[in-house]
Every structure is written in C-alpha cells, then in structure tokens.
C-alpha cells in the first residue's frame, strides 16, 4: 500500500487518541447494563472486547458513541475529563463505528454513503460537487483494497463490502478510534482475513481499534490486549501472549468449559426428510437430493450465498419451490406452504431471529403459543391459562432466563431469544427442525446450551438440519455434513471425513 | 383494561363533567339519547376501521362506501321494491365483495393499502353520484317500513337502537380481537408480517379478512346512516368519516404501524369525539370550529400519552439506579 494514501488520510496534525473510561455505570429499567467498568485504549493498538451477550459490550460502545449517557463514572479523552459524550462530540473526537447490523442507504451510491452528512458542495447554490466527493473517497477505497469503486451503487454490495464501506466512512472522518461490533459474524474466511489485515493497517498508522467479537480465534489473531466483561462488570484483561482461547472463554463464562461439543452417535434409521430434485427459484439450475434420518444432525456447510438459506426457506414453504419432491415422515408435501409444513412436523428456526423468528413486542407467552394457538383454543377462543402454562413449561425446560413469561421478547438476550424461538417450535411437536445459523450473535455460554439442546432433540429422534457458517460448529455438532455451492450439494461428508479442509474443498470447488 | 384505556376514560369523564357543569342540559335525557345515537352510528364504522389499522393497513373508502351502499339500500327498497331484509343482505354482501377486492389488491398485487383505498374513496363516491344522477336518494312521504325503522332508528326505553347495536358489536369485536386465535393473528401480522409468515400464519388470508370485516361493518353502518338521515345526498353523505374513524382508533391507542390497540380504546375514542362535538354545540362555540376542537384534543392526547410513557420509563430507571447504588430501595411513589 503506497504510503501517500495514508498521508492524505491522516492530516499532519494527527494525534493518537488516548481514551480512558473509569467506573462507568449505566442502569436501565430492571437491568444494570454496566457497573463500574474500566476501559482504556490508545492509538496504535487493537483491543478485543469480549463477553457474553448481555455482558454490557453494546452499552459500553454506545457510551463511547455518545448515544447513551452513563449514570456514573468518568471519561478521559486526551487528558480531558468528561462525564458524558454527545454523538457530535464523539464524532469530532474521532470516534467512529462499524455497526453489527449495517444499514447503508441502498438507494445511494458508495460516495454518497461514505460522505453522508459531510457532503462537499460548491458554488453559490451549494450544489453537490460529485467530482470532489469522489476524489476524496477514491483513495480511501484504494487503500482498503475494495473491489467496488466510488460511483458503484450500494445495493449490490455483499455484506463484507458493506463493512468495508463503513470503515471507509470512518476513515473519511479522520477516525482516531474505530469500533467494530461483531464485524466478522457473517463474513467468509477470506473476507474475514481481509478485514483483519485492514485492522492491522489501521493500527500501524496510529489508529486505535476496538474489536468486539464472539469469534475468539480472530480476537486471538489480531488483538494486542483483551478486555472481558461479564454481567456488566470487568471480568479481567489479557495482554500479548496471555491471549488464548481457553483463557478468554474462562473469563467470559467464569468457569472452565471442558467438553464444549458433546457428540453421541445417533442411530441412523429411516429417512425422515427426503428431498428429490428440489430446485429453488434462486438457483433454478441446481437440483438437490438429500436425506435426513431420524435422530441425526445433518450439518449444511458452504460459503455465504451458497443457497443454503434459500433451500431451507423452500423446504419450509416460505418461498415458492420451482420443482421437486419433499417427503416428510412418509407423506409428500403437496401445497408447499408453511402451515402444511408445520402440520407435517417441520420447523424452521430462521437465520434472522429478530425479524423472522420472533415478534419482539409480543410477550414470551404470545411468541411461544403462536404456531400452536389452535391447539390451545376452543372454538377459536384462546385458553390463556393453557397458553401461560405452556410458556412456563418451556421456560423451565429450556432454562429461559427471564423474570416473567409476560416480558416481551425484545427484553431478552440473544441466547434467550433463540430459546424462545426454539420453544415455540417444540410446542408443535416437530419431527424435523431446520436450524439456520442457530448460534449467530449469541454468546459462548448460550452456544453450549444450544448444542446441548440439539443433541437432546436428536436423541429423542428429531431429525435436525443445521445450516451454519461456523466451521468449528458444523464439525463439532454434526453427524454428517452436506456441503453446498451455488445451490448444488457438492458432497456429503461422513463423521470420519469431517475436516475443515474437506469442507472447504467442496465449498470452494 | 390497559393503562392507556383508563387514562382515556378519565379524559372522557373530565370533559363530560366540565360540559355538564357549564351547561346542565348536557345531562338531559334528550341530549344524552341524541349523543348516544351518534356514538352508535359513528362507532360502528370506527370499529370497522380498527380491524384494518391493527394489521398496519388503512381503509380510506369508509365514507364513500357509506354513501354508495346507503344509496344502494334506499334504491333497493324504495324504487326496486326489494324486501328490506334481502336488501340489507345485499348491502352487506356488496360490502364483503368490496372488502375482498381491497384485500386481494393489497395482498396479491402488493399494492399499498393507502393507494388501494384512496382509489376506492374516489371510485365509490363517483359511482354513488352517478347512480342517483347526482340527485338525492331518500324516502318519499308515503313510504312506510315500520319494522325496519323501529329496528334501526327506533328506541327501547329511551335507548337508541344504534347504540345497542354498537354495544353488541363492540363486545363481539373485543372478543374477536383480544381473545380468539384470529385476533392474535391480526396483531401478529400487524406487528411483523414476515415473522408471522415464518410462524405458519396465512398472512394473506388474515389481511383479506380484516378488509372484509371492515367493509361489512361499514355496510351495516351505511344502513344505519341511511335510516338516520332518511335522505342521502351522495356528494356529501359520509364525507370525512374515514378520517373520523382513524381519529377514534388513534385516540384509542391504535398505532398506524400496526399491531397495537384495544377495542375498549376505540369505543372510548368514539365517545370522546362525540362528547367534544356535543361540547361545541352546547357551549355555543361556533360550529365552524368543530374540526379544530377535535384536532386539538387528539393532538394533546397523543402528546400527553408519549410524555407520560417517557416519564414513567425515566422514573423506573431512577429507581433501578438507586437500588444498585446500595441505597435502600426507594419506595415507589405511585403504583405503576
């Protein structure tokens, strides 16, 4: 990378940031999000911020971004004391965010997104000066090595590219501290590598990077220092060679995790779900044949965009099936609608639990009862006692952490939300459950619980189809793994053939 | 009853008491009966609108449908000589058909509810005017439908039948919305249609049914209005009623984003709007200010609601902060 780009980016007066939070406290109704949390970071280092979901990472980030003002504690930036920041102050101090959920303006082009709110204008009418704007954005993109240019539309960018777009935006603001919130959770391996190398470049130029991630191997890879939060408090720091996965897991959950993945050999009997010549509308050229047996966990691996989610949606009847036969528990699905799939004994725990899995504003009771309301009602009238009883049973069975089953789903942590999604399907007594990224964005402790539940379900004879981009998870949990590429199943690996290398070979092809 | 509903009930009582204090005629049997009659008439189509709003939709053709179906009803029994029970069934069936068309356009052709029903508003109004050649449809002097008139615009023990009908339908609507599977599905679809679909709810069917229920109730309301006014001038009959219905629903806690609201709220909203109307009449406020008064009260109500919610949240937070700071937990000053 030619150094001129950096010198353009970093103005001569660039001063490394030095930021220190001490005893920061933030309380929400019913929840202590942060209690006496300390964190320091300065220019030229990458600090990993880890912790289970609900540990307070997001709140701490919002304090830095100025969108949440703490109820107590001090903030020192470049030696100056403040009790709180406003978003505008955070911006002018050079604190920039790359959020977990990216929301670029897909109706605007790359340049407009990068410079949104800081457009360059010219002339008495203050018209947009497109040329000057693109001239400012182009070197930043070059620096980041993006495959897209300043005039490209944002609507076509992949998730990984959108992330680079956010980083470009941060750099265009002369960021001194870049905060990345779970940036790699939906990236492929090579995209992740690229992002990590961008982070290292930022560090070498004196920018401070705060990296929040559940992917501990990446944290281990890239961080100089690790700060761990647990239940809204500091749970320890690690520096340099101390940083290893085991140590981080220990800090996060406060205990040793011995057997993270438990695996029991499941009896492979008759197929409970069979796909023959199934074609989805996204990949009409690819025809899928697949058998899932009762009591089996069949992993579905592949790169992002390999057609795994599309296949799941088509099986479940959310999207139209262009062709093919689906047989579930001996009966052929005819109408390919969700109600038919559910009554045949199929469930889908979708990829995006906040948009597709749950009604966030509904209470836990209403979420769990929704697919089986008819069973809980007489003459169309809901029996609310049975509904509450079902929710309480589920809460006990899945250990859902909540003060009351009448709390809304929005108030739960990611892991507990996922349990509510699972609970609502278990109430329909499914024969086959499709999990699409079952542990995305949930913390280590909750992950272990989800794996435990998967195994328990399989032991009860439920067939499980588990789509996952987490290689370790696929290998650790599955009995067999089907690998997909561009809509095709390129291979099925048995348990003795399950290695990262084998999966990648089939996924990349 | 939700907290919001209690607040609204208190507001109704407060406004009512003020009017009664200033002008005792407010409580006279004649005035109460008249107001009750209007509450019944306007309440029917406001309940109708609520079914659509809860799905995050909107129905703008309510007023025009009241004109068109009213004209149709009068024409059927007066000019065509159709027996009134059959005419009433035809009107309700037409409502069902219009509702189905709206629902079909919205769910199958993916048109926006605002646009579909805006076109309905224009089309039905135009057709109603054309149908009567822009004249007035009404009952002439000799026409006599004693049973129908007693049933629709009569009174029992001084209580207008319109408010009795409204009460019965409000109870049914409450039950349907708040206690049945279908009602739950309405709320779910309104809150998050995608999640509802992923849960196996036939979202299209739910939405179409909401529009059908709305239009059938509007048809019923059209019959009540036809018998109330006895002559229908299709250019103005039912003008702005859809906005009135939306106002009542919003006052009653329905969110235009869908998935929120209660039948008790709409009923109280309708009552409040009628009491306000009555206030304008009884207090000698120029009737030209009618809409201005209504608009102001709705605005104040909505502002008060958001402010109270905000205040409640910040108080909860302060209490939570006090507990973790080790201080003895502060006693809650007021029950939440």
pLDDT tens, residue by residue, A388-410: 999 999 999 888 888 889 988 88
User: Do B280 and B313 sit in the same domain of this protein?
Assistant: no
Partner B contacted by A355 (CB < 8 A): yes
State the smallest CA–CA distance between residue B200 and chain A in angstroms: 5
Which band of pLDDT confidence, cut at 50, 70 and 90, is reported for residue A6?
low
Closest CA relative to residue A47, chosen from A251, A215, A199 = A199
Same domain, B221 and B307: no
Q: Whole-angstrom Cα distance, residue B287 to residue B280?
A: 6
- To the nearest whole Å, the CA of A358 is away from the closest chain B CA by 6
Q: Which residue has the higher pLDDT, A45 or A51?
A: A45
What are the structural domain ranges in chain A?
Answer: 16-100+166-253, 271-508
Question: In the structure encoding, which two tokens stand for residue B124, read together?
Answer: 């039905």
Give the tens place of pLDDT for each residue, A12-34. 567 888 899 999 998 876 567 89
Q: In this complex, do B188 and A356 lie within 8 Å of one another by their Cβ atoms?
A: no
The 10s digit of each residue's pLDDT in A307-353 is 899 999 999 999 888 888 999 988 898 888 999 999 899 999 998 88
Q: What is the predicted pLDDT for the residue at B328? A: 41
Say how far apart CA B263 and CA B252 lie, in whole Å: 8
Smallest CA–CA distance from B316 into chain A, residue: A29
pTM > 0.90: no
Query: Residue-wise over B6-27: b if at least 16 C-beta within 10 A, else e?
Result: ebbbebbeebbeebeeebeebe
Token look-up 């995608």 returns: B194
Q: Are residues B217 and B184 in the same domain?
A: yes
Per-residue pLDDT tens over the stretch B139-170 = 876 667 888 888 888 888 889 999 999 999 99
How confident is the model over A247-260, as pLDDT tens digits?
A: 887 787 665 544 55
Q: Is the pLDDT of residue A495 over 90?
A: no
**Which tokens go with A269?**
């009997």
- B189 closest CA partner among B23, B325, B56, B36: B56
Q: Count how many Cα atoms sit within 13 Å of the Cα of residue A446 in the half-sphere of its side chain.
A: 23
Same fold, A16-100+166-253 and A271-508: yes
% of chain B residues with pLDDT over 90: 60
Are residue B254 and residue B295 in the same domain, yes or no? no
Q: What pLDDT does A264 receive?
A: 57
pLDDT for residue B330: 41
B34 touches chain A (CB under 8 A): no
Contacts of A29 in chain B (CB under 8 A): 313, 316-317, 319-320
**What is the tens place of the pLDDT at every residue in A215-233?**
788 888 899 999 998 878 8
For residue A385, pLDDT beyond 50: yes
From edge to edge, which strands make up the β-sheet containing A271-280?
A: A288-293, A271-280, A321-328, A331-332
Please check whether residue B333 lies inside any domain of the structure: no
Mean pLDDT of chain B: 89
pLDDT of residue B33: 93
Residue B335 lies in a domain: no
Residue A336: its pLDDT value, please? 86
Q: What is the pLDDT of residue A54?
A: 65
How are beta strands A463-467 and A432-436 bridged, if at all? parallel
Q: How far is B311 from chain A (nearest CA, A)?
A: 12
Q: Which residues pair with A347 in a beta bridge?
A: A433
Residues of chain B positioned with their CB less than 8 A from the CB of A71: 321
Q: What is the mean pLDDT of residues A105-109?
A: 87
Task: Please report the number of interchain residue pairs, chain A to chain B, with beta-carbon separation below 8 angstroms.
Answer: 84
- Asked if the model's pLDDT at residue A1 lies above 60, the reply is no
Which candidate from A29, A31, A370 shows the least CB-CB separation from B199?
A: A370
Instruction: Reply yes or no on whether the pLDDT at A211 is more than 60.
Output: yes
Do the beta carbons of residue A292 and residue A273 sit within 8 Å?
yes
Say if residue A287's pLDDT is above 60.
Answer: yes
B334 lies in some domain:
no
Residue A188 pLDDT greater than 80, yes or no: no
B255 burial via Cβ count (<10 Å: 0-12, 13-18, 19+): middle
Of A27, A358, A371, the CB nearest to B320: A27
Nearest to B317 among A29, A338, A358 (CB): A29
Domain A271-508 has CATH 3.30.110.30: no
3-state secondary structure of A499: coil
For A263-284, write each residue's pLDDT tens digit: 655 555 678 999 999 998 888 8
Q: Is residue B336 part of a domain?
A: no
Q: Which of B285, B302, B319 is the last residue of a domain?
A: B285
Q: Do residues B227 and B149 make contact, with C-beta atoms less than 8 angstroms apart?
A: yes
Side-chain half-sphere exposure of A283, counting CA atoms within 13 A: 22
Which position has the higher pLDDT, A144 or A468? A468
ipTM above 0.95, yes or no: no
The answer to whether residues B108 and B239 belong to one domain is yes
Do residues B299 and B276 share a domain? no
In a domain, B69, yes or no: yes
Task: Check: CB of residue A175 under 8 Å from CB of residue A183.
Answer: no
Query: Are A381 and B179 within 8 A, CB to CB?
Result: yes
pLDDT value of position B35: 93
Q: Which helix (H) or strand (E) holds B51?
A: helix B29-53
Q: Is A338 on the interface with B (CB under 8 A)?
A: yes
The pLDDT of residue B4 is 78
Q: Is the pLDDT of residue B334 over 60?
A: no
Cross-chain residue pair A30–B320, CB shorter than 8 Å: yes
Q: Do A71 and B194 touch (CB under 8 A)?
A: no
Whether B198 and B312 share a structural domain? no
Instruction: Name, of A211-220, B89-98, B284-293, the range with top average pLDDT.
Output: B89-98
Q: Are A28 and B197 in contact (CB < 8 Å)?
A: no
Query: Which residues on chain B are in Cβ contact (under 8 Å) with A35?
Result: 324
Same domain, B33 and B79: yes
Whether B267 has a pLDDT exceeding 70, the answer reads yes
Domain match, B217 and B305 both: no
Q: Which residues in chain A are contacts of B196 at CB distance < 8 A?
A: 359, 370
Q: Which domain holds residue B301?
A: 289-328
B331 pLDDT exceeds 60? no
Whichever domain contains B110, its CATH number is 1.10.3470
pLDDT of residue A29: 64
Residue B107 lies in a domain: yes
Q: Are residues B157 and B180 in the same domain?
A: yes
Kindly tell me if the per-residue pLDDT of B333 is higher than 60. Answer: no
Superfamily name and number for A16-100+166-253:
P-loop containing nucleotide triphosphate hydrolases (3.40.50.300)
Any B CB within 8 A of A159 CB: no
User: Which letter does DSSP use for residue B78 in this model?
Assistant: I
CB contact under 8 A, B192 and A31: no
For chain A, positions 360-419, list CB contacts with chain B under 8 A.
Answer: 360-362, 366, 370-371, 373-374, 377, 380-382
CB B292 within 8 A of CB B279: no
Average pLDDT over all residues of chain A:
85
For residue B175, which residues of chain A lie inside 8 Å, CB to CB?
Answer: 381
Most confident of A349-353, A502-506, B11-15, B187-191: B187-191
Nearest C-alpha neighbor of B296 from the set B257, B247, B242: B247
**Other Cβ atoms closer than 10 A to A338:** 23
**Closest CA–CA distance from residue B336 to any residue of chain A (Å):** 13
The number of folded domains in chain B is: 2
Residue position matching structure tokens 């306000």: B276
DSSP secondary structure letters along B204-250 = HHHHHHHHHHHHHHHHHHHHHHHHHHSEE-TTTTTTTHHHHHHHHHH
Cβ contact (<8 Å) for B324 and A35? yes
Predicted confidence at residue B220, as pLDDT, reads 96
**Interface membership of A28 toward B (CB under 8 Å):** yes
- B297 and B280 share a domain? no
Q: What is the DSSP letter of A209?
A: E
State the DSSP string of B146-211: HHHHHHHH-EETTEEHHHHHHHHHHHHHHHHHHHBHHHHHHHHHHH-HHHHHHTT--HHHHHHHHH
Residue B219 has pLDDT above 90, yes or no: yes
Using an 8 Å CB-CB cutoff, list chain A residues near B198.
Answer: 316, 318, 338, 348, 350, 356-357
* Interface contact A355-B201, CB threshold 8 A: no
Query: Do A318 and B197 lie within an 8 Å CB cutoff?
Result: yes
Residue of A nearest to B176 (CA): A381
Q: Given the structure tokens 């919002």, which residue do they identify?
A: A62
| Distance between CA atoms of residues B134 and A17, nearest Å | 76
- Are residues B131 and B149 both part of a single domain? yes
**Chain B residues with CB-CB distance to A342 below 8 A:** 200
Residue A174, pLDDT score: 83
3-state secondary structure B259-293: CCCCHHHHHHHHHHHHHHHHHHHHCCCCHHHHHHH
Residue holding tokens 């920039």?
A96
**Looking at the predicted structure, is the pLDDT value of residue B43 above 50?**
yes
Query: Is the pLDDT at A59 greater than 90, yes or no?
Result: no
A430 touches chain B (CB under 8 A): no
- Sort A373 into a burial class: Cβ within 10 Å, 0-12 / 13-18 / 19+: buried
How far is Cα A80 from Cα A329, in angstroms, rounded to an integer? Answer: 67
Give yes or no for residue B106 having a pLDDT over 50: yes
């Amino acid at each position: 990378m030619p150094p001129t780009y950096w010198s353009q980016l970093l103005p001569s007066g660039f001063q490394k940031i030095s930021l220190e939070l001490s005893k920061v406290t933030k309380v929400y109704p019913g929840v202590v999000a942060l209690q006496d949390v300390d964190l320091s970071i300065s220019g030229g280092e990458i600090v990993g911020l880890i912790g289970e979901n609900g540990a307070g990472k997001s709140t701490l980030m919002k304090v830095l971004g100025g969108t949440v003002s703490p109820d107590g504690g001090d903030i020192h930036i470049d030696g100056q004391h403040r009790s709180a920041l406003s978003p505008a102050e955070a911006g002018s101090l050079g604190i920039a965010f790359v959020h977990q959920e990216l929301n670029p303006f897909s109706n605007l082009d790359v340049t407009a997104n990068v410079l949104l709110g800081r457009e360059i204008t010219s002339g008495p009418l203050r018209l947009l000066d497109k040329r000057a704007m693109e001239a400012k954005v182009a070197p930043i993109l070059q620096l980041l090595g993006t495959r897209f240019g300043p005039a490209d539309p944002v609507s076509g960018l992949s998730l990984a590219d959108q992330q680079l777009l956010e980083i470009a935006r941060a750099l265009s603001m002369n960021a001194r501290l870049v905060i990345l919130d779970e940036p790699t959770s939906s990236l492929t391996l090579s995209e992740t590598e690229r992002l990590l190398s961008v982070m290292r470049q930022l560090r070498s130029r004196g920018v401070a990077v705060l990296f929040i991630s559940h992917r501990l191997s990446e944290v281990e890879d890239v961080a100089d220092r690790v700060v761990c939060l647990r239940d809204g408090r500091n749970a320890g720091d690690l520096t340099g060679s101390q940083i290893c996965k085991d140590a981080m897991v220990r800090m996060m959950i406060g205990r040793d995790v011995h057997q993270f993945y438990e695996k029991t050999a499941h009896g492979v009997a008759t197929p409970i779900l069979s796909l023959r010549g199934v074609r989805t509308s996204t990949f009409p050229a690819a025809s899928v044949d697949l058998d899932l047996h009762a009591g089996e966990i069949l992993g579905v691996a592949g790169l992002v965009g390999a057609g795994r989610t599309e296949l799941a949606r088509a099986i479940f009847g959310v999207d139209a099936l262009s062709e093919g036969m689906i047989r579930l528990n001996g009966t052929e699905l005819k109408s390919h609608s969700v109600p038919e799939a559910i009554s045949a004994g199929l469930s889908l725990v979708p990829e995006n639990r906040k948009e597709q899995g749950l009604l966030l504003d509904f209470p836990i009771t209403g979420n769990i009862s929704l697919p089986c309301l008819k069973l809980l009602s007489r003459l169309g009238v809901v029996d609310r006692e049975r509904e509450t009883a079902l929710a309480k049973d589920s809460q006990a069975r899945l250990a859902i952490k909540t003060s009351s089953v009448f709390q809304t789903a929005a108030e739960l942590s990611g892991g507990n939300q996922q349990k509510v999604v699972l609970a609502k399907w278990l109430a329909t007594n499914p024969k086959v459950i499709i999990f699409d990224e079952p542990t995305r964005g949930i913390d280590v402790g909750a992950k272990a619980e989800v794996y435990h539940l998967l195994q328990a379900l399989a032991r009860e004879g439920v067939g499980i189809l588990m789509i996952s981009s987490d290689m370790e998870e696929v290998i650790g949990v599955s009995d067999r793994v089907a690998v997909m590429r561009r809509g095709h199943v390129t291979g099925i690996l048995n348990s003795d053939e399950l290695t990262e290398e084998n999966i990648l070979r089939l996924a990349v092809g | 009853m939700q907290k919001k509903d209690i607040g609204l009930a208190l507001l109704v009582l407060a406004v009512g008491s003020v009017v009664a204090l200033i002008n005792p005629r407010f409580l006279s049997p004649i005035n109460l009966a008249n107001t009750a009659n209007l509450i019944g008439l306007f309440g029917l189509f406001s309940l109708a609108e609520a079914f659509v709003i809860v799905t995050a939709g909107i129905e703008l053709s309510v007023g025009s449908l009241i004109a068109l179906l009213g004209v149709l009803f009068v024409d059927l029994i007066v000019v065509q000589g159709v027996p009134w029970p059959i005419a009433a069934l035809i009107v309700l069936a037409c409502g069902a058909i219009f509702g189905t068309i709206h629902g079909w356009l919205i769910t199958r052709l993916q048109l926006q509810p605002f646009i579909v029903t805006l076109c309905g508003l224009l089309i039905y109004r135009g057709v109603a005017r054309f149908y009567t050649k822009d004249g007035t449809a009404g009952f002439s002097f000799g026409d006599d439908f004693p049973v129908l008139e007693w049933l629709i615009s009569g009174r029992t023990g001084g209580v207008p039948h319109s408010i009795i009908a409204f009460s019965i339908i409000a109870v049914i609507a409450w039950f349907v919305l708040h206690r049945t599977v279908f009602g739950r599905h309405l709320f779910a679809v309104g809150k998050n249609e995608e999640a509802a679909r992923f849960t196996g709810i036939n979202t299209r069917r739910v939405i179409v049914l909401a529009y059908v229920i709305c239009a059938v109730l509007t048809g019923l309301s059209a019959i009540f209005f036809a018998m109330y006014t006895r002559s229908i001038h299709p250019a103005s009959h039912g003008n702005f009623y859809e906005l009135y219905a939306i106002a009542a629903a919003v006052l009653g806690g329905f969110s235009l984003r869908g998935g929120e609201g209660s039948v008790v709220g709409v009923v109280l909203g309708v009552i409040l709007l009628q009491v306000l109307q009555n206030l304008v009449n009884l207090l000698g406020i120029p009737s030209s200010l009618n809409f201005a008064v209504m608009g102001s009260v709705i605005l104040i109500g909505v502002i008060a609601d958001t402010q109270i919610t905000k205040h409640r949240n910040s108080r909860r937070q302060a209490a939570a902060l006090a507990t973790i700071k080790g201080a003895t937990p502060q006693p809650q000053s007021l029950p939440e």
